[in-house]
Structure formats: structure tokens, C-alpha cells
Amino acid sequence: MTTRKKLTVASSLSLLALSTAPSSALVVMISDLVPAGSALEGFIASNFSNVTEVRHANYANFSSAGSQDALNGTGSHAGNGAADVFIIGRSLSSGGYSSGNADGWNAVSIPVVNLTSYTARDAGNRMGWHLNSTSTGTLIAGNETTVTAFGAEIFGVAAGTYDFLIASAAAADNFNGLASGQTGFGDGNILATVGGDTLAAFWKAGAAPGGVNSGVATFPANRLLFNIDNDPNAGNNGVNDVANMSAAGAAALVSAIDFATPLTAVPEPSTSLLGLLALGFAAGRRRR
């Protein structure tokens, strides 16, 4: 199991990245109700270079045998090592994460990425990362996302407004599942907002959650909340889990996961490299 790395959020709004070599063999758990081979699986596999195994099932109940085997590399996962990153997807029933069933995930010493405030909220004794309810019907149009100074450090862009969210269909032009407001996050830092509600937040290791039902005083490892929307959603099939983000929004999510976890983002080719490739291709054509 690999522990990372990367960060201390100073009161001066600067983030110190603690540099360690990333692991070359990481096991990622994805928890949702989507069959294996989902769009989210593909997103993780194609955007990060050091994923060697994805364990994908409904792991909402931390104490279940399936969750424990996938986390610890036991049972059907014996011999393949423990998990290094836990990701909660979007196409799920948040009721499975209520009544304290998912609180154990707050205590694990690996990074956790949560892609929906429906599970991160405190209501119903869910995971309690924040006290807020969830918003519905937020219009996404134009440069709807405001990136904070903290978010700028993590996303690799300047603080300001961006078009991170798009509608994959008419039914998706209203965003569901933002964390209402910008307070009640404990020691977490807001990374981005939409219409006054929270799109993304980050808690470094040792930071306190904002809810009262989290079951932990502080998180033992990094926690990242980055809300995505899966509309139009047909029976939690996961088809649109990553379809409602622009290229800039998807890049921000990749950068945030790279920052908060041991996963290493696949580098984008530089313009100079693309130029060299183009020259090489042209030269090859001329020699024919």
C-alpha cells in the first residue's frame, strides 16, 4: 500500500507539495452501482499511468466482506495486494452510505476521492465530510465555475471563472448534487464553486471533517470531493458519469486526483513535442 505525498495547505493560501516518488503499481477501488467496464473506469485507466488493477463494486458498507477483501487484498483478492486509492462514484444510491454504514471509509489511511456530495453530506448519518445539503437544478452555462486560490494551486490554473461543466443532453443543463453553500467543511478548503455552492473541496491528512456524523475527529489521509453529475441517468448505468464536464473541467478533476492521491496523471504532450512529431511525420512523408 502506498501513502502519499503531496501537501500541506498553509494559512497564507500556499500549498506545499511533498515530493516522493509515485508507486508504479497501484490498486484502485471504485464504489458505485455501475457494471464493470464503466465510463468512470475508463476515465481513471486512461488518465493515470500507474493503475494496475481496478476493483469495482458496491462498497458502500465498509464492514461487508466484499469491501474488506477489496480493501485489504484478502479473499477473492488474495495475493494482489491492498488497495491504494478508494473512489466513490456518481451512479449510486446514497442511502447505502447512510446510517453510519460508510463511516469506516473515513478512517482508512489511504486517500479517498468522493465524486458526489450525496454521499459526502452529513444528513442521514452519511459520511459527514460537510454539514451542507445538496443543491438541485443549478444552471450550468458560460463560465459557471469559480476557482479559488486553493483550487488554482491544485488545478494548475489561475484563480477565476471557467467553463468546467457542460450539458451532455438537454436534461443535463441543470446540475444536481453540489454541496449547498460554502461553509460547514471543517478544516477543508474550497477549491471551486458554482453559483455560490461548492463544486470541489479538499482535506489534507490530519484535517477535520465538517459534519458531526463522520465517525472521525480528523482524516488520516487526504480526502477530495469533486462533484460530477450523471444526467441523463437511466438506472445508474454510469454512461454519463464523466460526460458533463468540459475538457477544462476534466483536466481539473485529473489534476486534483493526481494531487490528492498516489495516482500519476498521464502528461499531456507539450507543444514543442507535438511540433517535433509533426516535423518527423513530414520528413517521413518526403522520403517516400
Assess if residue 2 is contained within a domain.
Answer: no
- The reply to whether 112 falls in a domain is yes
Q: What angle do CA 238, 239, 241 make, to 5 degrees?
A: 60
- Whole-number pLDDT of residue 172: 67
Nearest in space to 188 (alpha carbons), one of 164, 213, 223: 223
pLDDT of residue 5: 44
191 within a domain of the structure (yes/no): yes
Residue 245 lies in a domain: yes
* 11-69 confidence digits (pLDDT tens): 333 343 333 334 568 999 999 999 888 999 999 999 999 999 999 999 999 999 999 99
Which regions of the chain are under pLDDT 50?
1-22, 270-288
Is this model's pTM higher than 0.85 or not? yes
For 47, the domain range is 8-287
Q: Quick check: is 246 in a domain?
A: yes
Domains: count for the chain: 1
138: enclosing H helix or E strand: strand 138-139
Q: Strands 8-9 and 138-139, how do they pair? A: unpaired
**Phi-psi bin for 156: left (phi > 0), alpha (psi -120 to 50), beta?**
left
pLDDT of amino acid 149: 98
Q: Which residues pair with 57 in a beta bridge?
A: 31
SS3 of residue 55 by DSSP: strand
pLDDT at 155: 98
Q: List, as one string, the DSSP characters of the chain.
A: -------EE-TTS-EEPPP-PPPSSEEEEEESSSPSS-HHHHHHHHHBTTEEEEEEE---STTSHHHHHHHHT-GGGTTS---SEEEE-SSS-GGGG-TTTTGGGGG-SS-EEE--HHHHBSGGG---SBS--B---EE--SS-EEE-HHHHHHHTS-SEEE--B--SSGGGSEE--PBSSS---TT-EEEEEETTEEEEEEE-TTPPPS-S-SS-SS-SS-EEEE-----S-STT--TTTTSSB-HHHHHHHHHHHHHHSS--BPPPPPHHHHHHHHHHHHHHHHH-
Q: What is the domain-level CATH number for residue 198?
A: 3.40.50
Nearest to 202 by CA among 224, 230, 231: 224
Residue 203: what pLDDT?
98
Tell whether 1 is covered by a domain: no
Does some domain include residue 164?
A: yes
Q: For residue 32, tell me if it sits in a domain.
A: yes
Distance (Å, rounded) from C-alpha 165 to C-alpha 197?
Answer: 14
Q: Which three cell numbers stand for residue 230?
A: 450523471
For residues 214 and 128, is the Cβ–Cβ distance under 8 A? yes
Burial status of residue 212 (CB atoms within 10 A of its CB: 0-12, 13-18, 19 or more): exposed
